[in-house]
Amino acid sequence: MSVLSPISAADSGGGTPTFLSPPIGCDEAEFPILLRRYRLGLALFVAAIGMLFVGFSSAYVVRRGIPIYDAGTGGYSTDWEPLRLPIRLLLFNSCLLICASVAMEVVRRKTSAFVYPSETNGREVTLWLSASLLLGTAFLLGQGIAWHALVSSGRFLSTGARTAFFYVLTSTHALHALLGVLAVAAIASFGARISPARRYVAVDLTAWYLHAMTLLWVYLLCFLLFA
Amino acid sequence: MPSQIQLRSSSETKGFLRKYIFSTNHKTVGIQYFFLSLFAVVVGMALSWLMRIHVAWSGVRIFGLEHLSAAGAPGGVITPEYYLSLMTLHGTIMIFFVLTLAPQNAFGNYFLPLQIGAEETAFPIVNMLSFWTTLVALLVLLATLFVGDGPPISGWTAYPPMSAVGKDAGPGLGTGQNLWIISIGIFCIASVLSSINFIATFMDMRCKGMALMRLPLTCWAWFITAIMSLLSFAVLLAAVLLLLLDRTAGTSFFVPANLLVSGKIEPHSGGSPLLWQHLFWFFGHPEVYITILPGFGIVSHVLSCFSRKPILGYKLVLGCMLAIGFLSFIVWGHHMFVSGMSPFSGFLFSIPTIVISLPATITTLLWLGTLWGGRLQFSTSMMFGLGFVSTFVAGGLGGILLAHPAVDSYLHATYFVVGHLHMVMGVSAIFAIFAAIYFWYPKMFGKMLNERLGLIHFGLTFIGVYCIFMPMHLLGFAGNPRRYAILSDDFLIRLIPLHQFITVAALITGAVQFLFLFNLFWSLYRGEPAPANPWSATSLEWETSSPPPIGNFRRQPIVNHGAYEYGETNIERDFVMQSDPESVRMKA
Ligand code: HEM
Ligand SMILES: [Cu+2]
């Protein structure tokens, strides 16, 4: 029977060590498996976040196109208000986030899964890590300033749908970016105490997550500016 | 070789709290989900009795109900508004906390790792978190019964403007609706977390030799369902967040301009209730298949085992499930044919809706083909599997009628839809859950269920559900609108006897479920001890003891065979276990 044909190792599932694997990478031998598994988990998480924003974006597009019927004139109008954004601030914030992401990428590349950073390039890594943390925090603060600017010019959630969408999209993004910044902070504070393999997994995931949030932000900014 | 046996024993030394309550063990989490759903289904069923009694005998006093809500049921007589509150709660509990959780999160958590030969899921802590998050969601939802003026009256679909404008629009639309939204939001997060765990487990934890085409169809079904949950619940989360803002922050996403509610003009302007419907049903239609696809897997598994025959067309069943998963994302508009959407869009949504019944039909035929010429064993699990096929066809045919905009414009919002959705989702998915319970209970609890009691339970339930839900189709033809608390129009009064028949059938069928509950708990203590493989089944969970030890397997399994090798073999049994050595094989 064809179902009985022997299969090659490549056919088989995710590799053998699952059976004996301890909770999270303590062992160098299991490191590649764990890294792959956690990256997969992260990718799925990011996909879900993506769908959240697909939901918001489609709502935006639909809401933008809805006409309001005016019984007086029998015509249609729109309540899609013009929205003047603090563009220069937002662009500056984007640079901050991109730089935070780049700094984290440097950390990722300079981190080894097999030796403690203190034994090699510890200082350098710490420097880049702090840079990423600072830049990420600065981005969040910058977003706060942008909201403040909008609020002080009298534009609130209830001002109109477009303004509301601006707040919803940026704050939901900020919340997710905050997760990334917190992860960087966690690595900066506890990273020295865990095994190199574990530390590498943490650094790698955080870096990819920050990249994803950066990409999402670039998309959102283009969307808000041009859609 | 004992040196290979190196089970992780850490969880054995954990305290009670870590072992039974905040456990990360996939079997414990599965059982927690199971009992959560069991609790939810009892509540949901009780609510349905209250509604049925009220529809059939609208003035009747239900003893003691005034203690649940003095305003909602003064003197024990349900008000029309409270009827709608109960209905919302019933629908939400059943769809989210029963049909979404039991087939996927309860059985999937318990059996996916076992069936793929893994000792755990990929992210046990995430798994635990998603259970506790779900529990919080359920508690928040149930809280609506006790705060403010009761649960919202806007139904499980929470259509705005009703759900968006606050308490002026009716009872439960203040605090109740807020809690509903929060509960669903929490549920979305839990679902996303849990589906991440499912997908990663499926993709990354298969044991040696478990090639994709050797996986039991249950595993495939859980995998596809998890992908659908991941993609659709995130969109629902977006929708409920916007709805919450409309209610609390004065935004206008879903509420149109100049809306007059209870004599007051709403301050909102320019929003669109249709926007909500699009977002909701973009989630909602995948959701109905999220409830049924694990059932496809379970039923394929059970039918093959009790026919002692390989499942007919393994790859075709799999292909159909994939097709259903994909198509379910592009048919949502069939819930909106009469919503004011452009008729051209209606046509556009009608086509894939009709197309989606093709893979469903093919799968059904393959199930029948699996039975054909098999040596059928009519265990309770098998009977529920067969019952699933029957009710799925009965309900699905109704769906094909509804798929035509012209037909739907008459049948929409009538009891026909209620009959359709309960037949195909309520009953079929529940039958799949029952098939799973009767099949896997021995493995989960180490005891056999009483088969005779099980068969009686099946027989009465099967007759009961047809008595309840088939007449609803007729009510729909007669034009009986759904969500009506009191039938007072001329043409409706004449339908009341049929409603009374349905109510009686519902009460009896409900009572029969206590047979099942009795069986469930009685067997826990008095049932015969279960052997490792009571059904002579092939998949890996039957290789280990009942219940499986911590770490699932005493030796790491290696898979040499497909999941459905039933029939004559070169040894003394009529099946080949997946982990049997290669020398064991089916006779050609
Ligand atoms: C044979 C394939 C199916 C077709 C063509 C179909 C078609 C439809 C259509 C057109 C409607 C909208 C009716 C209306 O509101 O006027 C509908 C409603 C519904 N269907 Fe199906 N359906 C099918 C299978 C299923 C399955 C498998 C499930 C669940 C497991 C399901 C669950 C529901 C539910 C829950 C509703 C009503 C939702 C509500 O308004 O509360 N359907 N179906
Ligand atoms: Cu649908």
Per-residue model confidence as pLDDT tens digits over B138-152? 999 999 999 988 999
Of A19, A53, A78, the CB nearest to B207: A19
Whole-angstrom distance, CA of residue B131 vs CA of residue B441:
21
pLDDT band at A11 (very low <50, low <70, confident <90, very high): very low
- For an interface test with B, the pick among A16, A19, A20 (most B C-beta atoms closer than 10 Å) comes out as A19
| Long-range contacts (CB closer than 8 Å, 24 or more residues apart) made by A129-132 | A129/A103, A129/A104, A129/A184, A129/A187, A129/A188, A129/A191, A130/A188, A131/A99, A131/A100, A131/A103, A132/A100, A132/A101, A132/A103, A132/A104, A132/A107, A132/A184, A132/A210
- Which DSSP category does B563 fall into? S
For the record, the structure tokens of B560 come out as 């040499």
Q: How many CB atoms lie within 10 A of CB B311?
A: 24
pLDDT at A211 over 60: yes
* Centroid of ligand 2 to alpha carbon of B388 (angstroms): 19
Looking at beta carbons, which residues of chain B come within 8 Å of A160? Answer: 252
- The alpha-carbon gap from A20 to the nearest alpha carbon of chain B, in Å, equals 7
Taking the C-alpha atoms of residue B533 and residue B552, their distance in angstroms, rounded to an integer, is 14
What Rg value do the Cα atoms of chain B yield, rounded?
24
Q: What is the spatial distance between Cα B324 and Cα A85, in angstroms, rounded to a whole number? A: 43
Cα separation values, B309 from A104, B277, B279, B480, B569, Å: 56, 45, 43, 45, 12
Alpha helices in chain A (DSSP H): 31-64, 87-110, 122-152, 161-190, 196-226
Ligand nearest to the CA of B399: 1
Average pLDDT over residues A96-124: 88
Pocket residue to mutate for ligand 1, from B98, B288, B321, B469, most atoms within 8 A of Cβ = B288
Instruction: Say what the pTM is.
Output: 0.93
Instruction: Please check the confidence at residue A23 and state whether its pLDDT lies above 50.
Output: no
pLDDT in tens, B475-527: 999 999 999 999 999 999 999 999 999 999 999 999 999 999 999 999 999 99
**In the predicted model, what is the mean pLDDT of chain B?**
94
Ligand 1 pocket member B361 (CB < 6 A): no
Tokens of B212: 């994709």
Which pLDDT score is estimated for A18?
37
Torsion angle of the four alpha carbons B242, B245, B250, B255, in this order, in degrees rounded to the nearest 10: 40
d(CA A24, CA A30): 9
CATH domain A31-226 topology: Four Helix Bundle (Hemerythrin (Met), subunit A) (1.20.120)
A18 to chain B: which residues are within 8 Å by CB?
A: 118-119, 204-205, 207
Best of A2, A3, A26, A166 to mutate (most B CBs within 10 Å, chain B): A3
**Do B47 and B104 form a contact (C-beta atoms < 8 A)?**
no
Decide if B190 contacts B236 (C-beta within 8 A).
no
| Phi, psi at B556, each rounded to 5° | -60, 120
pLDDT, position A113: 79
* C-alpha of residue B235 to centroid of ligand 2, in Å: 16
Kindly state if the Cβ of B396 falls inside 6 Å of ligand 1.
yes
Whether pLDDT at B7 is above 50: no
Write down the pLDDT at residue A143: 98
A28 confidence band (pLDDT: 50, 70, 90):
low
pLDDT at B320: 98
> Which candidate from A3, A55, A161 shows the least CB-CB separation from B565?
A3
Q: Which residues of A touch B251 (CB under 8 A)?
A: 157-158, 161, 164
What residues pack around ion ligand 2 (CB closer than 5 A)? Answer: B 285
Please name the residue of chain B whose CA is at the shortest distance from the CA of residue A11: B211
Using a 6 Å cutoff on CB, does residue B414 contact ligand 1?
no
| Contacts with B59 (C-beta within 8 Å, 6 or more apart), sequence order | B77
pLDDT at B134 over 90: yes
In chain A, the residue whose alpha carbon lies closest to the alpha carbon of B283 is A55
- The rounded distance, in Å, linking the Cα atoms of B419 and B433 is 20
Cα(B181)–Cα(B177) distance, integer angstroms: 6
Contacts of residue B514, defined as CB under 8 A and 6 or more positions apart, other chains included, come to none
pLDDT tens readout for residues A149-161:
999 999 999 999 9
Of the bound ligands, which one is closest to the alpha carbon of residue B430? Answer: 1
Q: Are B303 and B312 in contact (CB under 8 A)?
A: no
Q: Does B335 contact ligand 1 (Cβ within 6 A)?
A: yes
Tell me the two tokens of residue B558: 């290696």
Is the beta carbon of B157 within 6 A of some atom in ligand 1? yes
> Do B25-271 and B274-482 share a fold?
yes
User: Length of chain B, please?
Assistant: 588
Contacts of A22 in chain B (CB under 8 A): 8
| Rounded mean pLDDT, B153-171 | 94
Can you read off the two tokens belonging to residue B531?
Answer: 């052997």
- Measure CA of the first residue to CA of the last residue in chain B; give whole Å: 33
A28 or B492, greater pLDDT: B492
What pLDDT score does A141 carry? 98
The mean pLDDT value for B377-391 works out to 98
Q: Could B206 and A45 be called an inter-chain contact, meaning their C-beta atoms sit closer than 8 Å? A: no
Cβ pair B278:A62 closer than 8 A = yes
C-alpha B294/C-alpha B317 separation (Å) is 13
- Residue B264: strand, helix, or coil: strand
Nearest in space to B449 (alpha carbons), one of B381, B513, B509: B381
Residue B425, ligand 1, Cβ within 6 A: yes
User: What's the CA gap between A93 and A217, in Å, rounded?
Assistant: 10
Q: Residue B466: CA atoms inside 13 Å, Cβ hemisphere, count?
A: 12
The residue behind tokens 């049925």 is: B52
Distance (Å, whole) CA B528 – CA B519: 12
What pLDDT is attached to residue A9?
33
Which residues have CB under 8 Å from B526's CB, separation 6+?
A: none
Pocket flag, ligand 1, residue B116 (CB < 6 Å): no
pLDDT given at position A151: 95
Q: By three-state DSSP, how is residue A176 classified? A: helix
A-B CB pairs within 8 A amount to: 166
pLDDT of A227: 82
Q: Spell out the SS3 assignment of B132-168.
A: HHHHHHHHHHHHCCCCCCCCCCCCCCCCCCCCCCCHH
- Mean pLDDT score, A186-191: 90
C-alpha pair distances (Å), A221 with each of A52, A95, A136, A137, B152? 16, 12, 17, 19, 37
Residues in a beta bridge with A77: A68
Ligand 1 binding pocket mutation candidate from B424, B472, B473, B483 (most atoms within 8 A of CB) = B424
B334 lines ligand 1 (CB under 6 A): yes
The pLDDT of residue B13: 54
List the domain boundaries for chain A: 31-226
Question: Ligand 2 centre from A115 Cα, in Å?
Answer: 55
What phi, psi does A70 have (nearest 5°)? -105, 110
| CATH class for the region spanning B274-482 | mainly alpha
Ramachandran category for residue B255: left, alpha or beta (phi over 0 → left; psi -120 to 50 → alpha): beta
Query: What is the tens place of the pLDDT at every residue in B165-216?
Result: 999 999 999 999 999 999 999 999 999 999 999 999 999 999 999 999 999 9
Strand-strand pairing, A75-77 and A68-70: antiparallel
Considering only CB atoms, A13 lies closest to which of B205, B279, B556, namely B205
- CA B295 to chain CA centroid, Å, is 9
Is there a contact between B123 and A41 if contact means CB atoms under 8 Å apart? yes
User: pLDDT digits over A64-84, tens only?
Assistant: 998 888 778 888 888 898 888
CB contact at 8 A, B420 and B384: no
| Residue showing tokens 């998603």 | B130
Q: Which CATH class is domain B25-271?
A: mainly alpha
Rounded Cα distance between A128 and B374, Å, is: 67
Torsion on CA atoms B319, B540, B299, B529, rounded to nearest 10: 180
Say if residue B2's pLDDT is above 70: no
Q: What is the DSSP letter of B372?
A: T
* Cβ neighbours of A40 in B, within 8 Å: 122, 199-200, 203-204
Q: How confident is the model at residue B5 (pLDDT cuts 50, 70, 90)?
A: very low
Indicate yes or no: CB of A48 within 8 angstroms of CB of B588. Answer: no
Structure tokens at B155: 């139904």
Q: Do residues A45 and B197 lie in contact, with contact meaning Cβ atoms separated by under 8 Å? A: no
Going from N- to C-terminal start, the domains of chain B cover 25-271, 274-482, 527-588
Which is more confidently placed, A10 or B554?
Answer: B554
Q: Is the pLDDT of residue A5 over 80?
A: no
Shortest-distance ligand to the CA of residue B427: 1
Burial of B251 from C-beta contacts in 10 A (0-12 / 13-18 / 19+): buried
| A4 with B231: Cβ contact below 8 A | no
Shortest Cα distance, chain B CAs vs residue A122, angstroms = 30
For residue A26, give the amino acid letter.
Answer: C
Q: Which residues, at least 6 apart from B494, have a Cβ–Cβ distance to it below 8 Å?
A: none
Dist. CA B304–CA B539, nearest whole Å: 12
Backbone phi, psi, residue A186, to 5°: -65, -40
Q: Which residue's CA is minimally distant from atom 36 of ligand 1?
A: B421
Backbone Cα Rg of chain A: 23
